[in-house]
Structure 1
């Protein structure tokens, strides 16, 4: 691929990730989604998380959810799937996830911005991108592509942003696999990049058994990704950089559906939305 063309295109993919991620994060950080899922009868946050996020895949076994999600430890998906679907239909969890997420966005953004022509235009352009990429090799994205796109602009913006998040996530998994980085190792790399020390204390993995974390760290030292003091090596930092660069490259296809003018317009419309969400911590 021509390097002069690649650089600005991958820049667009990274910029769109920065702008869309705070929209998606209300699902996990704000109260409304969890409240909607709890009202259905999900006993814990993680019951609702697994039930609603995995639902577009259909009633698949826990092993399939584990494979699609990638970065959860062995057995974590099985603690919630299929039991979270036994009394609550997946479709109900999906609907609750959408209602709660859209409600969070409306609350955080305020009625004026949530009902503005700019947000509607952002939703339209995000949806155009989100419904335009190939689905091959994109398990989570393909699942979401089977769902009806909401007509309400706020719900449509959240839905399409989340679709693009899953598309990017599928590509990120491909990049991790290509670098021979497992799910727990991916969390360790993120912790090292953020300067968390020891990396085993990172919130996404600190609950795992000590022997499991010790084995992961030993493996990363043997590969030269971390040093004896559990800090990044140059090789580890370079590996993380390659993974992120490839993730950006693999995230480009949806935005090929937009003209350069539409990309610029989408960025301009999303910037004030994202600024408010960032200030609120998407809560």
Structure 2
């Protein structure tokens, strides 16, 4: 294991370069096509199945715990019924086919077979060697899956492992900060870095009155002002959540070492810029709305 000290927030910057490329799948017409062929007709059921399939044929309670900020009522409308449409194994196969098609479409044929892609996959997989399973259900479930042979899919798989490892730790940080599911969403959107309310409400199953009630609770704690902006205390709390998450997610990046993290971040940013330029994300996805 390397002893090279990492620059501050190096792991977070690397995560921010890798995670969005994983997330392109959830906005991809390739996912709709592959899951439609399995018999899925509802977009929410497709995306819930795609992310939770690694956990097995789970019900809404397990997914509510693992996803944190989804409305249990939404989950109960689709789970466990989605597994009657297709088994988790078939869903995972369709998900990988969707990722393959999505990356080829967004990045281009040359990029997916490039030396840079192979290097990125090797670096990301090496970082993931130091991820830990305890108290990390989504990471641990994905760590049981085989690593795809093709470099671009190996990179996507490794990005998924690193994403879920950080995400599982982030839930601990949110709990420690006393932010419930909707408060976490409202305060994240208020930073300007989260999804707009339209996308949050549409994908997480909450209603506008849930959002407003959470905002009122945050105002009562002095974290949000009357205009819905974070106060100084709110900004400090969100920063503390991210720093707590960083501390829980240091192992993969310390294992990779500073030069490897810097190179993986550089490669990841390049692939992400290409994907974003190809229209990977809706224009109104991020912001205060």
For residues 44-72 of structure 1, what are the alpha-carbon distances to aligned partners after superposition, in whole Å with 9 as ceiling and x for unaligned? Answer: 11111111211111222210111100011
Aligned match of 2:284? none
Q: Aligned ranges for residues 112-261 of structure 1 at < 5 Å?
A: 112-194=110-192, 201-205=197-201, 208-261=206-259
Structure 1: state its 5+ residue gaps.
none
Give the Å deviation of 1:210: 4.2
CA-based RMSD: 2.3
The CA distance in 2 between the partners of 1:231 and 1:260, in whole Å, is 36
Cα 1:255–1:210 change in 2 (3 A) is closer
CA contact (8 A) 1:19 1:274 kept: yes
TM-score (norm 1): 0.90
TM-score (norm 2): 0.88
Aligned match of 1:266? 264
Count of residue pairs brought into register by the alignment:
276
For residues 162-207 of structure 1, what are the alpha-carbon distances to aligned partners after superposition, in whole Å with 9 as ceiling and x for unaligned? Answer: 11111111111111000010111111012211199xx994430376
Give the Å deviation of 1:246: 1.7
Give the Å deviation of 1:153: 0.8
Q: Aligned ranges for residues 43-82 of structure 1 at < 5 Å?
A: 43-82=41-80
For residues 50-96 of structure 1, what are the alpha-carbon distances to aligned partners after superposition, in whole Å with 9 as ceiling and x for unaligned? Answer: 11211111222210111100011231211111000013111111111
CA contact (8 A) 1:108 1:276 kept: yes
Aligned match of 1:276? 274
SS in structure 2 at match of 1:204: helix
The CA distance in 1 between the partners of 2:107 and 2:53, in whole Å, is 28
**Most deviating of 173-182 and 260-269:** 260-269
CA contact (8 A) 2:50 2:92 kept: yes
The CA distance in 1 between the partners of 2:134 and 2:140, in whole Å, is 8
Structure 2: state its 5+ residue gaps.
282-289
For residues 199-253 of structure 1, what are the alpha-carbon distances to aligned partners after superposition, in whole Å with 9 as ceiling and x for unaligned? Answer: 9944303763344333222211111111233332111111111112222222221
Q: 1:85 aligns with which of 83, 86, 95?
A: 83
